[in-house]
Structure 1
Amino acid sequence: MKIIYMTLLIISGITDSRSEQYNVVGPTDPVLAVAGEDVILPCYIKPNSSAVDMRVEWYRLDLQDSVVHLYQDHKDTNTDQIQSYRGRTQLFKQELQKGNTSLKLSTVQLSDEGRYKCFIQSESWYDDITVNVTVEAVGTPPLITIDGFDHSGGVHLHCEIKGWYPEPELVWLDREGVTLKSEATDTHRDTDGFRVKHTITVYNSDSKYHCRVKLRHHMLETEIITSSKMLNSLRLFVIWTSVAVVFSVIAVILIAAFIHKHRDLNREKMKNQADLNREKMKNQEDLNREKMKNQAEHSRLLQRQKIIVPYVSTHFRKHAVTVTLNPDSAHPRLTVSDDGKQVRDGNTRSTEVNDREKEQSDTFDEYLAVLGKEGFSSGCFYFEVQVTGQTRWDLGVTRESIDRKGYYYLKPEMGYWTVKRYGIYWACDSQHVSLSLRKKPQRVGVFVDYEEGLVSFYDVEDRSHIYSFTGQSFTETLYPFVGLGYYRNVNPAPLIICNDF
């Protein structure tokens, strides 16, 4: 009887242990972070179970003192935390009950790049995942300066950028867009990123030259126009400066010879005269340096940044279509207006619906999103969405067969062609692209050319291009897509389908 009782206890313990097994999941692709911004490192328990009573530890795999954030015994315990992470890490405490152990890292630094481990431990089980984080920093625009002439009359042009990471590509281009070979290159890495300087010599008196810096999906460009009038002014300045220097040298030589010849006659007098001449030379050199400084400032005023943006054409609005939001596809938290033109977070219905009902329905169960009722499988179509007041949104189109369940990345491979605002603006391409917009869009236009495989986004009020997906291949019906992100969106401002054009 004792043997049978012990056997039953062992079997019961094994069963309890297996019942508590879980998997820790996260992104397979590296998480892209922008220096100075905030980033979320995703980590979840599957199947969904509470992490409130568990130990949640984030640490670096590539550092000796590795603790980034530690949660245990229902509180944060960061006494051994890496000094550079103090005050910059945070778990979503209200989400621990749902198994969300993602880490928010504020004010990203270049040193934050690396491999992070998310380790979750209960009383009888543990699991972990590795999250790779890459950091980008967009530094200063290219600065072009003029540094005199060579003996053949060519003009030396310097182009310099600072604070970029990782090392960007810096190139000179002529007015036709042809790359020019740099004669000298200087690259330096410091704590703020990379400083790169390229030098060329040009001989055309009336032309235009571009200096362009590129880093993955970021590009800034500066141009300088060289005119005959400007170059002649510079040449005259250099000539007169050279003449002044020659005369100064001659004067020094004559004075030195005079002092040498007459030093026995009047040593003290000649010494005073030499001091006076040296003071004159110093004043002349100071004047020359001030002139050069003024000339360099003048050349900087000649340069301007070139922003090439296509404008929203009335051609797009010729393809405007009626879009009505489909409440049957909406996440249970969302409220869709009766006319199907507005959506906001704040639905009072419970999100804790039966798993079988969630699997059988066509709604989004994790992502706060809704589709349009109308689908399009040929030709061109265009619609506009007002985003005024809302700080977190996603807009675009999706294919009919998308998976609406669980957590996933919005990208073309998953059937999504979208742009979003989560603090900063992103294009959700195969690799997320951060967007440097001149102003915050209030109304976004979405244009699709099905046969050409084109999806373009525009700031309607600013009449500027935001981003385009090109060379896509569409084989299914496409539906308008409107979203408010994961979790909860406490901003009450609605997203509105516009028809007033």
Structure 2
Amino acid sequence: MMGVNFVMVFVTVVFLWMMTVSKGDTEVSCVFMEKCILPCTFQSDTDIVIHWLQETAGNIHVHSFYHNQDQPALQDKHFRGRTSLFNNQISRGNASLLLMWADVHDEGRYKCYTSTITGNKESFINLEVNAPVQEVTLQQVGNTMNCSSEGIFPEPQLIWSTSPPSNVSLQYETTVQQTEQQLYNISSSLILSDSDKDSVFSCNISTRRNWRNATLSEQGNVVPVRGFRGGVFAAFLVVAAAGLALYCKWKRS
């Protein structure tokens, strides 16, 4: 019984500790090879010290500022030449970090430590880096349809579908490869069968932040986006109705 109580107390302590660690963390999403801002504020005062650390990489120094100037000698080489503070706003309590050319290795938990004559403060930021799906290539070669996309992060998912829905399981093989930049290239080959005649095939590639798809008929023809013409026609009807209303108002005047 005492063993059970001890386990319950231990689990409760661990849970409360995890809640304390994660409480107040700011979530920031950056796009691969673009710039982004990691926010951090403090109560403005004098004798300002700022340290940005990447916790998940072993508390390496990302950027440091004290004695009223940046301290590049402390900076880890991975971040060299890619970070800056908003120096003209530091005296007003802005310790936010500008990160240039975000890459996959930048993902993780960051700590912003600020110290002034009146006290210290720690803020935590969880940074994720995304290389969204930019384009999906879909083409047919013989009785095989090939779908692919490149330069994605994190690892994407690929799903085939047909319209109308196929009565049999689609036979396909998907391959994922990782580049030197830790990005993902994905490709999939779908074998067509006789039962797929006159079907329309869609290949959807998605990540945690976006998705794109491509659609092709079994004969190899690109299928236009459904509803596009309807949208144009609806817009035409709105314009026509507005014109008719103006005409009737003019006739009554």
TM surpasses 0.5: yes
1:225 aligned residue (217, 222, 244): 217
1:56 aligned residue (32, 40, 50): 50
Matched, 1:41 2:35: no
Matched, 1:130 2:124: yes
Retained in 2: the 8 A contact 1:41–1:131? yes
Matches within 5 A, 1:15-34: 28-34=25-31
Q: 1:72 to 1:304 in 2, by over 3 A?
A: farther
Distance in 1 between the 2:189 and 2:145 partners? 6
2:137 aligned residue (123, 127, 143): 143
CA offset at residue 305 of structure 1?
7.9
Query: What is the aligned-residue RMSD (CA, Å)?
Result: 3.0
Code of the residue aligned with 1:49 in structure 2: it is: S
Map Cα deviations across residues 318-360 of structure 1 (whole Å, 9 max, x no partner). Answer: 9xxxxxxxxxxxxxxxxxxxxxxxxxxxxxxxxxxxxxxxxxx
Matches within 5 A, 1:187-336: 187-190=176-179, 191-203=181-193, 204-227=196-219, 303=222, 306=225, 313=235, 314=238
Matches within 5 A, 1:412-423: none
Q: For 1:96, what is the secondary structure of its paired residue?
A: helix
TM-score by length of 1: 0.38
Partner of 1:110: 104
Retained in 2: the 8 A contact 1:173–1:180? no
Matched, 1:162 2:162: no
CA offset at residue 86 of structure 1?
1.7
Gaps of 5+ in 1: 1-25, 149-154, 228-298, 319-501
Retained in 1: the 8 A contact 2:49–2:116? yes
- Number of corresponding residues: 210
Q: 1:308 to 1:68 in 2, by over 3 A?
A: farther
Map Cα deviations across residues 15-45 of structure 1 (whole Å, 9 max, x no partner). Answer: xxxxxxxxxxx96342111112221111111
Map Cα deviations across residues 246-297 of structure 1 (whole Å, 9 max, x no partner). Answer: xxxxxxxxxxxxxxxxxxxxxxxxxxxxxxxxxxxxxxxxxxxxxxxxxxxx
Q: For 1:53, what is the secondary structure of its paired residue?
A: coil
CA offset at residue 147 of structure 1?
4.5
Q: Which has the larger radius of gyration?
A: 1
Map Cα deviations across residues 139-161 of structure 1 (whole Å, 9 max, x no partner). Answer: 4422224344xxxxxx1222122
CA offset at residue 182 of structure 1?
4.7
Partner of 2:74: 80
Code of the residue aligned with 1:213 in structure 2: it is: I
TM-score by length of 2: 0.71
Retained in 2: the 8 A contact 1:57–1:120? yes
Code of the residue aligned with 1:170 in structure 2: it is: L
For structure 1, which segment, 206-215 or 129-138, has the greater mean C-alpha deviation from structure 2 after superposition? Answer: 206-215
Residue identity (%): 23
Q: 1:202 to 1:112 in 2, by over 3 A?
A: same
Matches within 5 A, 1:361-372: none
Code of the residue aligned with 1:214 in structure 2: it is: S
Partner of 2:174: 185
Gaps of 5+ in 2: 1-22, 243-253
Taking CA–CA contacts closer than 8 Å with sequence separation of 6 or more, which of the two structures ends up with the larger relative contact order? 2
